Structure 1
């Protein structure tokens, strides 16, 4: 499994309520994306940075998401080009599903 963290500085800070509304307006576009297991939207405490934490089955599936087109859409939505960082996730503890997931 792969965890991807995207982040970007906002041109103007936003409130939690503004972020929630914006995130909800985009959330449905991530439903049913092949290989995407989970996405968490994130906002810094001071509202000056936002991003996402994604859990993917594989890097190949993740890389299909973070295209130049995706970066342009993110820039249009948030006013900044996001950074994209990949991490190996060999084990994930899921307390909601009461499971420990392994990529083997």
Structure 2
């Protein structure tokens, strides 16, 4: 499995309502999406960042998703260009079914 961190930085001006609205509008697109196990939309007013974290079944699926066209669209939606980091996931603990 592959984790992908997508970070949008807003030096001096995170618009919380904009970030929340983007998340609300985009959620449905990811529900049931092949290859995506989890997606988390987050923001930190303290760090002036919106950070989205994905867990993908494979690196190939993740890399195909993050096309130049997609990056252009999310830059426009969030009002900031993202930085993207791919990491290999060694293990997941999921206590939601406990």
Shorter-chain TM-score above 0.5 = yes
CA distance change for structure 1 residues 47 and 28 in 2, over 3 Å: closer, same or farther? farther
1:71 alignment partner in structure 2: 71
The within-5 A match list for 1:84-95 is 84-95=84-95
Task: Give unmatched runs, 5+ long, in structure 1.
Answer: 99-104
| Deviating 4+ runs (over 3 angstroms) | none
| Number of residue pairs aligned between Structure 1 and Structure 2 | 97
* Aligned-pair Cα RMSD in Å: 1.8
* Residues 75-84 or 27-36, more deviating: 27-36
**Is the 2:6–2:51 contact (alpha carbons within 8 Å) kept by the matching residues of 1?**
yes
Provide TM-score, normalisation by structure 1. 0.82
- Cα distance in 2 for partners of 1:86, 1:65 equals 12
Task: Give unmatched runs, 5+ long, in structure 2.
Answer: none
* Residues 48-57 or 21-30, more deviating: 21-30
Provide TM-score, normalisation by structure 2. 0.86
